[in-house]
Amino acid sequence: MSFLLELPEINTLSLMELRQMIWSDRKPAEPFNLVWPNLYIGDESVARDKPILSSLDITHIVNAAAGRYRINTGQQFYSDLGLKYFGVEAADHPEFNLEPYFRPSAEFIDSALKENGKVFVHCAMGVSRSGALVLSYLMICQGLSLVEAITAVRLNRDIGPNSGFLEQLRQLDMNLKSIP
């Protein structure tokens, strides 16, 4: 399974170009997909389905929709599986600032993968919040540009971070490109 296409060096695309890239040629979302070696994106149904998580040998969970009024799982919910848990109380709203969670979630995912773990990143539908956090991981820890990260993930799953998250990812892309 290929996870990365070779792309020429590209400057950061505009928000409109990124939206066009993400929303073209869409396929129905599966409950979960492997989007990078040992890294899955999925929805709430899989996050609550312990037999599926066990069958995938998931060792780490990133809940991008954590909290009392969203998907209220947590370390305690997964205690019988021995999973490590990272929760982000994010609203899927363009005005929500997801950027403070990019680096901590990326470091959690990176640490898990370096320990030969398997990570399941989810939100309600496995499209916007979880997609944005996986893209930030690929940019921060794997050195991909935003366009490369979107392309890599979309080989296996249609994601669709909302316009606010996309703009925050654009800013991250520009900031990472400016670091020598």
Active site residues: 123
Distance CA 169, CA 166 (A): 5
Query: Which residue in 40, 80, 82 sits closest to 64, CA to CA?
Result: 40
Which residue in the block uniquely carries the two structure tokens 């129905």? 28
Half-sphere exposure of 35 (CA within 13 A, CB side): 33
Query: Which residue in 128, 118, 145, 116 sits closest to 23, CA to CA?
Result: 128
Distance CA 48, CA 72 (A): 10
Cβ atoms 31, 42 nearer than 8 A: yes
